[in-house]
Chains A and B, each alone.
Chain A
Amino acid sequence: MKHFFKALTVALISLLLTCVVMSDAMAQQTLSDVKKNRGLNDEDVLAAAKTFMPRGGRDEYFAFVGSGNSGTMIVYGLPSMRIYKYVGVFSPEPWQGYGFDDESTLMLKKGSLDNTLLKYGDMRFPALSETGGKYDGKYLFYSDGANSRIALLGLDDFETKQVLMHPLFINAFPGVAVSQGTEFVFQTSEFPTPWDHREANVIADYETKFKSGITAWKFEDTDEAAGSGHHIGRMIKEASFTLELPPFVLDFFDAGKLESNGLLIGLASYQNQNYVYVYDYLKAQNLQMYTENDFAVVPFKEAVNAGAIALIPLDQAAKSVKVDPSGKYFITAANTAQVFDFVKVKNALAQKTFSFSNVLGAPQINPADVLHGELNLGSKVIDLAFDYRPNVVYASVYDDQKLVRWNYETLAVEQSLDLSFKPGHLMTPQGNSIEPHSNYLTVVNKEGVYENAINTGPTRPGYQHLIDISSDKMRDIYTMSIPQANIYGSVSVLRTTIKPIIRYPLGTNTRTGEISRFKTVAGQEKIEREGNRVHIFGTLIRSHITPEIVEVEEGDVVTFHLTNLERAEDETHGFTVSTYGVHGSFEPGKTASLTFTADRAGVFPYYCTEFCSALHLEMEGILLIRPKGYVVTEEDLKEEVLTAEQLAEYKKNYEDKIQVINETQDVINSVVTFLKENDYAKYPYVEALVVDALDQMELAKTAKANYERYAAEGKWKDAFLWAEQYWQYQVKTADVGLRAKKLLSEQINK
């Protein structure tokens, strides 16, 4: 009976829809036409309906990609799988001026060994900050497996805030984990090396000089800027410490939560034997430490003696290991997945019921003592993910091309889904927190071979699939391509948990979260010179850069310190000086600096690189670089004088312009009337636009005062040009006003 009704529903709905779309028969095709033309079946249309995002709609989740050697954070939305942003982290990124403006460049150089701008990083498994084991949507962490760095991104503005070079590791595992209150961010080495930057023999010195380690980076989030919503938490190197380990090759790791809070578990191997290590970092932080390269280190022996570290041997190599949402178990991703019980592990640690194996003196727990159970899943299990359903875990089985949904309490397979590709890493929304969500599961397809993919050369994008796990029947509903990414594990958080800002407090140095000492407000623009050092304190606003003409001498070291005065959402300006290699992106309120040596004389245009208004192309200026020793002559400064005819023409132009100004004002007035009559203030987006429009009109006052003054003085050229400027402000007001009107009309018609 149920099935009958369901079938009827589908039939009825599609029929109705068919009718709807036939409503404008001349203009539109029907759904069934489209299905037929494109070769879609009912399942396809259902998948389309589950992923398609109607205009202006919001995705349910944000997801952050482990993007490998791109060194760039990538964020997209679930379920539409549309990519929202790439953000430079370990690699310079010119669109955002990252590694091109002074602020980000100095931040990156501080996070290097030799004060250099490193060119890339390898970041495969990111982590989100947590409060009480839940994602709090404030920060995102990445480990750089290539140049051994760790990075912090702020999710209020989606910018990289801190990059630190690991003081000991020469090679790091490209993944991070956080403790459940983000007190610590964990990073480990991957391949063992000596820590002292000296050569050593890989065979003879391996056990004496080669080391591995686990670092707990102390994180502090106390310094929240009041009111701005701008978080400025940072990792504190001086309060962080590293556990020194024998030369294990370290792999994926995860932090305990709830019952297992305080423990870190991870994969290790040594001489063809695989282990899970269990590390009690809370215990370790109180142990005797020594300092190496200004960094606190817990000697392995100390940790062993305190029962802060132990190994569990594994029969099979595992590709991943994950702590379940309750914190009771951890599970290895292996052909026969093993479920270990944290309570038993803790007992073993407390009672020291382990043997001291011949392996480097490490304490070894008998797996049988701590195992909850195991389940064979198939050939080559890559990854695990949890969802909302209690005790349920998903496994990707590479060789068998399937996804398995199984219960790790009862150790039974619930469902499996055959895939058209070999599955790699998995992700569920909120998956690594104590409250994972259901409905969506992403699966990476590293091979990425599709018969129908458009061949655009040997370099292909990364691919992942969206699996609908909302019901008993799992379905592959979307294939997403991601360019410029070597995709591994991702993390995802509920959209509403992240509360991004849309503008900065005026004059913000976005890398520190503080007001920049180079902040410049309108009317205070100036050029300061100290010897050959020239500081230009400038401003950006639709559609001009102040100052517009700058003259310096060849050899001067020049810095443009620019502040974007805009308060309107999405009114970003960019800045560059022709052929001088600098570029900055200035979001509303941001202050950044661009420094270069003016070592070539000549004429260099500078301009706004972000299409910001109808007069964007006119947002330009000229940098003149005078050759060293150039003597300015009187001839150089001779100016043209206006003839009587020219003056008369300007007067007429002025009068015509005043007429246009009056007409434009009528348009503005009508828009304002419409907005007021329809209570625009009730709609925040509309209100923001109206505020911006009124701001533009405020700016126009100076232009009006100027044209009236010049007209009174009979200086018709200046009067005309300032009248023109006044009109430009009117146009900008009208532009924003019309956008507000359109949005308001939509809201009303909803």
Chain B
Amino acid sequence: MKKNCVMKKYSFKYSPDLLLTVIVVAALALMTACDTKGDKKAGATGAPYGEESFGEVVKRRGLNADDVLAAAKTYTPDKLKDEYIALNSGGQAGNMIMYTVPSMRMTKYVPTSSRQPVNGFGYSVESEAVLKSGYIDGQVIDWGDTHHPGFSETNGNYDGKWAVVNDKANPRVFVVSLKDWELKQTVNNPIFRSNHGGCFFTPNSDYIGEASQYPAPLDRKYYPLTESNFKKYWRGGLTYWKFDNEIGKIDEDKSFTMEFPPYTQDLTDMGKLVSDGWSFTNSFCTEMYYGGIESGRPPFEAGCSSRDVDYLHVVNWKKAAELIKNRNNYKIINGHKVIPIDVAVANNILFLIPEPKSPHGVDVSPDGKYIIVAGKLDSHAWVYSWDKITKAIADKNFESTDHFGIPVISLETALHGSVEVGLGPLHNQYDKEPGVVYTSIYVDSRITKWDYVNLKVLDFVSSHYNVGHLVAAHGDVINPHGKYLISLNKLSIDRFNPVGPLHPQNHQLIDIEGDKMSIIYDMPLPMGEPHYTALISVNDFESIETYPVGTNIYTMEKSPYYTELGSERMETQGKKVHVFATINEGVMKPGNINLEQGQEVEIHITNHGQTKLDHYVYEISAYDQMYRWRPGETATLAFKAERAGMYPLLLDNYHSPEGRSLQGYLSVRHNEAAENERLLAYSKRVQTDMQMQSFQPSAIEMKNLLEGEMEFLNYGCNACHRFGEDFNGPDLLMVDKRRTEDWLKSWIMNPEEHMNEADIEAMRQRYKLAMPDQNVSEEDVAKIITYLKLRTTQFINEQ
């Protein structure tokens, strides 16, 4: 048999399909001979398949030999352990996404800038404090556009301590601890308006690089948009955030920014080993074009791609870090240190090198000797030699200077060589085999494997479709692992079950152990749009399962609100109430909470559970209050008891299927003044929303509306008035009989003018509310009055 097999090996070398046919035929023949399907009703959808052999399953599911092999390489039953964690940016979802490799199972969303109820992020005072520390100029920003995650490094390899990611839309950097994979710090960039080239650690995590994307004035002021102003005031830059790798904190005071010209800076990478101490940032739109399609100018996409080359920015950051010790070497913008271009040029720490048209990725090789740049509008990848660059710098061998006086090293001087890798190359990741690199090819939708030392293509594999970034195991550090590569495809079109116009992304796992790459799994990414992903071995970090009792998990310190078992209590200070509570063995103490309407309450809860199963969700019905307490955590719910009534207090043991259990009631005693305050706040919100965009009920909801009812609703009249009952304002039933039409019109349009009338004053006393001026137009007043009449008639008919 064995010999036979070997013979077959050759005869079937390039024909797996033929072999599959053989299998299927064989399987079919045997199936007929041994039908074991007891209760199956042939052909009926949903009927049991019956006991199937391996061959029958393969046939039914249309698997070929490659599929079976791929299944075996990725299927990870409980007895096996996954090998890598993929940490993805979540893009517009404002989080980070984790899945395991090779089984490609989603495991976690780490919130960074979006509220996330299952984690509770943004729902407790403590987590909201981290969220709000990322608000810029007081603007509520409950989302983010995370782009490039990075792991902290020691000696150029992942040390399994911290992860960081940047927010392109609202230039910020988030620091996550790998101990618990929770957000610990948010740092706002004080001078950029967007970023992209982040976050990249230096090889010993001294600094984290964050490069700007779209240029803007660094002082964040307004300047009229003209070509001369653009060149004069608009700037880019690269911020070097000083990082303490022990405590995982960015020190804003010790951080600085290298000012860049108003080119649109893109990705960055940090030098390693021989090139350690340097950073590399590429750019597009060195044309300094700024669009204007609406006024007949070509769009950005044309103006930003018209030059044949853009610039790679080469910065000696170690020297820059020395320079900022001298006050003469930097200016302070918005409280932040910035090294101006002229100071950098004078100190020989900033250089430019031409790079192919509109590049996207810049990636330093594991030995630090080469820098590969791929230009999305050029079919080549360009390999720069660090040796040659250093030599050019030493010899001051520059071809010219740019508009801002920065020395430019010629492409020929710096280049090791280039290779045609395909249409639209974007990013590069390194293999464990020295000299081997993988490049994502966007337009051709493929991954090209090539040799960057000897400059030749080794292999390629098609990806579906339009790959953006790619990631190999530890593929951006000094010791890459090889083994797995993931293609982060931007489109999935026909790959998965259709789920409406918004498609998932498609991450394809590629086996790169052999000489030939083979795709072994297609994974839909169900939420968010990952840009970059980093793969870390499961052996390279160690996480905790529980916290010491009383921990504020966002500071990792003991909470001042920690409450011992038995010392649960309520403390009232005027309008403010503090509840010190505990959760222990599925019970929340205290059970009932009694308040008066209008009081502000803070419920500080300590979860005394100490096993990994002790996760609790505590909810206050109808108050939109909830948080998830991890084992040992202390966290606070804070809210104003705006509404009177009885609200069930519920505790859900997260790791039990029992459901929610009633702990007691939040009882809020009615208070007239507070009720009025609530109603006024309500109508104010309605008014604000009307300014944003008028309410527009859908067709089906409008079907039964009376004439004028729409206007009645649009102006928020129903917030206070009902028919046949007193509500927050007087009953409107038969109001048209009690008042003249002219009076009603005048009252609705100008309520202020009637405030001194005795009966109006009496009603104000009774309802504790004044009729607001809703700025109703004359036309709409007529409609509203028509509605008052029609509704009265309708109501009487109903009775």
Known contacts A94-B94, A197-B643, A640-B227; decide if A609 and B145 are in contact (CB<8 Å). yes
- Which chain B residues lie closer than 8 Å to A602 at the CB level? 193, 216-217, 220-222
Contact, CB under 8 Å: B108 / A106: no
Residue B284 CB within 8 A of the other chain: yes
Residue A528 CB within 8 A of the other chain: no
Residue A400 CB within 8 A of the other chain: no
Contact, CB under 8 Å: A16 / B106: no
Say which residue of B105, B122, B302 sits within 8 Å of A721 (CB atoms). Answer: B302
In the bound complex, how far is the Cα of B56 from the Cα of A574, in angstroms? 45
- Which chain A residues lie closer than 8 Å to B502 at the CB level? 85, 96, 157-158, 572, 585, 587
Residue B92 CB within 8 A of the other chain: yes
In the bound complex, how far is the Cα of B109 from the Cα of A68, in angstroms? 16
Stretch at the interface among A280-288, A358-366, A629-637: A629-637
Contact, CB under 8 Å: A486 / B38: no
- 0 or 1 for each of B36-76: is its CB under 8 Å from A? (1 = yes): 10110000111111111111111001111111111111110
CB within 8 Å of A: which B622-668 residues: 622, 624, 626, 628, 630-631, 642-648, 650, 652, 654-657, 659-660, 662, 664-665, 667-668
- 0 or 1 for each of B703-732: is its CB under 8 Å from A? (1 = yes): 010000000000000000010000000000
Chain A CB count within 10 A is highest, among B97, B227, B691, B700, for B700
Stretch at the interface among B77-85, B148-156, B392-400, B767-775: B77-85
- Which chain B residues lie closer than 8 Å to A452 at the CB level? 78-82
Residue A503 CB within 8 A of the other chain: yes
CB within 8 Å of A: which B269-308 residues: 284-285, 290-295, 297-306
In the bound complex, how far is the Cα of B123 from the Cα of A425, in angstroms? 27
Q: Tell me the nearest residue of chain B to A34, going by C-beta.
A: B72
Contact, CB under 8 Å: B49 / A471: yes
Residue A447 CB within 8 A of the other chain: yes
- Which chain A residues lie closer than 8 Å to B431 at the CB level? none
Residue A416 CB within 8 A of the other chain: no
Contact, CB under 8 Å: A501 / B48: no
Say which residue of B20, B298, B656 sits within 8 Å of A725 (CB atoms). Answer: B298
- Which chain B residues lie closer than 8 Å to A106 at the CB level? 689, 692-693, 695
In the bound complex, how far is the Cα of B27 from the Cα of A8, in angstroms? 10
Contact, CB under 8 Å: B621 / A603: no
In the bound complex, how far is the Cα of B170 from the Cα of A580, in angstroms? 8
- Which chain A residues lie closer than 8 Å to B55 at the CB level? 9-10, 12-13
Residue B792 CB within 8 A of the other chain: no
What distance in Å separates the Cβ of B591 from its nearest Cβ neighbour in chain A? 10
Q: Tell me the nearest residue of chain A to B631, going by C-beta.
A: A458
Contact, CB under 8 Å: B522 / A53: yes
Contact, CB under 8 Å: A148 / B645: no
CB within 8 Å of B: which A40-90 residues: 40, 42, 44-59, 62, 67-71, 74-77, 82-86
- Which chain B residues lie closer than 8 Å to A694 at the CB level? none
- Which chain B residues lie closer than 8 Å to A739 at the CB level? 445, 465-466
Q: How many residues of A contact B (CB 8 A)?
A: 250
Stretch at the interface among A301-309, A340-348, A433-441, A672-680: A433-441
Contact, CB under 8 Å: A85 / B504: yes
In the bound complex, how far is the Cα of B644 from the Cα of A557, in angstroms? 35
Residue A430 CB within 8 A of the other chain: yes
Contact, CB under 8 Å: A638 / B226: yes
In the bound complex, how far is the Cα of B57 from the Cα of A10, in angstroms? 11
Contact, CB under 8 Å: B46 / A437: yes
- Which chain B residues lie closer than 8 Å to A213 at the CB level? none
- Which chain B residues lie closer than 8 Å to A23 at the CB level? 9, 12-16, 19
Contact, CB under 8 Å: A24 / B13: yes
Known contacts A455-B545, A456-B543, A483-B108; decide if A724 and B302 are in contact (CB<8 Å). yes
Say which residue of B31, B106, B491 sits within 8 Å of A481 (CB atoms). Answer: B106
- 0 or 1 for each of A10-26: is its CB under 8 Å from B? (1 = yes): 10111111111111111
Say which residue of A31, A387, A479 sits within 8 Å of B69 (CB atoms). Answer: A31
Say which residue of A40, A579, A590, A611 sits within 8 Å of B468 (CB atoms). Answer: A611
Contact, CB under 8 Å: B624 / A118: yes
Contact, CB under 8 Å: B72 / A170: no
Chain A CB count within 10 A is highest, among B376, B465, B500, B682, for B500
- Which chain B residues lie closer than 8 Å to A511 at the CB level? 698
Say which residue of A457, A494, A579 sits within 8 Å of B544 (CB atoms). Answer: A457
- Which chain A residues lie closer than 8 Å to B757 at the CB level? none
Known contacts A118-B624, A448-B655; decide if A93 and B19 are in contact (CB<8 Å). no
Contact, CB under 8 Å: A458 / B544: yes
- Which chain A residues lie closer than 8 Å to B58 at the CB level? 13, 49
Contact, CB under 8 Å: A458 / B630: yes
Q: How many residues of B contact A (CB 8 A)?
A: 239
Residue A146 CB within 8 A of the other chain: yes
Contact, CB under 8 Å: A722 / B302: yes
CB within 8 Å of A: which B393-449 residues: 423-424, 442-445
Stretch at the interface among B318-326, B526-534, B568-576, B579-587: B526-534
Residue B746 CB within 8 A of the other chain: no
Residue A315 CB within 8 A of the other chain: no
Say which residue of A158, A494, A548 sits within 8 Å of B500 (CB atoms). Answer: A158
- Which chain B residues lie closer than 8 Å to A5 at the CB level? 30, 33-34
- Which chain A residues lie closer than 8 Å to B217 at the CB level? 602-603
Residue A327 CB within 8 A of the other chain: no
Say which residue of B92, B295, B301 sits within 8 Å of A728 (CB atoms). Answer: B301
Contact, CB under 8 Å: A653 / B306: yes
- Which chain B residues lie closer than 8 Å to A472 at the CB level? 38, 51
Q: Tell me the nearest residue of chain A to B424, going by C-beta.
A: A614
Say which residue of A53, A119, A473, A614 sits within 8 Å of B442 (CB atoms). Answer: A614
Contact, CB under 8 Å: B72 / A31: yes
Residue B685 CB within 8 A of the other chain: yes
Contact, CB under 8 Å: A42 / B48: no
In the bound complex, how far is the Cα of B136 from the Cα of A161, in angstroms? 32
- 0 or 1 for each of A376-415: is its CB under 8 Å from B? (1 = yes): 0000001100011100000000100000000000000000
Say which residue of B77, B462, B501, B621 sits within 8 Å of A170 (CB atoms). Answer: B621
In the bound complex, how far is the Cα of B502 from the Cα of A116, in angstroms? 27
Contact, CB under 8 Å: B657 / A444: yes
Known contacts A102-B692, A158-B502; decide if A457 and B105 are in contact (CB<8 Å). no
- Which chain A residues lie closer than 8 Å to B26 at the CB level? 9, 12-13, 16
- 0 or 1 for each of A184-203: is its CB under 8 Å from B? (1 = yes): 00000011011011111010
CB within 8 Å of B: which A564-612 residues: 569-570, 572, 574, 576, 578-581, 583, 585, 587-590, 593, 595, 600-605, 607, 609-612
Known contacts A113-B622, A193-B648, A483-B109; decide if A69 and B75 are in contact (CB<8 Å). no
Stretch at the interface among A257-265, A270-278, A349-357, A617-625: A617-625
Residue A731 CB within 8 A of the other chain: yes
- Which chain A residues lie closer than 8 Å to B613 at the CB level? 447, 449
In the bound complex, how far is the Cα of B137 from the Cα of A148, in angstroms? 35
CB within 8 Å of A: which B674-699 residues: 678, 681-682, 685-686, 689, 691-693, 695-696, 698-699
Stretch at the interface among B176-184, B199-207, B244-252: B176-184
Known contacts A388-B46, A389-B48, A569-B493; decide if A618 and B34 are in contact (CB<8 Å). no
Contact, CB under 8 Å: B493 / A570: yes
Contact, CB under 8 Å: A502 / B685: no
Say which residue of A74, A95, A389, A514 sits within 8 Å of B529 (CB atoms). Answer: A95
Say which residue of B44, B93, B306, B465 sits within 8 Å of A93 (CB atoms). Answer: B93
In the bound complex, how far is the Cα of B106 from the Cα of A82, in angstroms? 9
- Which chain A residues lie closer than 8 Å to B628 at the CB level? 69, 459
Residue B8 CB within 8 A of the other chain: yes
Contact, CB under 8 Å: B19 / A20: yes
List, sorted by A's number, 13 A–B pairs whose CB atoms are closer than 8 Å.
A46-B57, A48-B74, A147-B624, A170-B622, A454-B538, A455-B545, A480-B105, A488-B659, A579-B171, A603-B216, A603-B234, A636-B229, A725-B298
- Shortest beta-carbon contacts, A-B, top 6: A437-B46, A52-B71, A94-B143, A424-B657, A48-B75, A587-B501
* 10 more A-B residue pairs beyond the given contacts A50-B57, A113-B643, with a C-beta to C-beta distance below 8 A: A17-B23, A40-B75, A48-B71, A54-B63, A193-B645, A200-B667, A425-B657, A458-B544, A551-B225, A617-B213
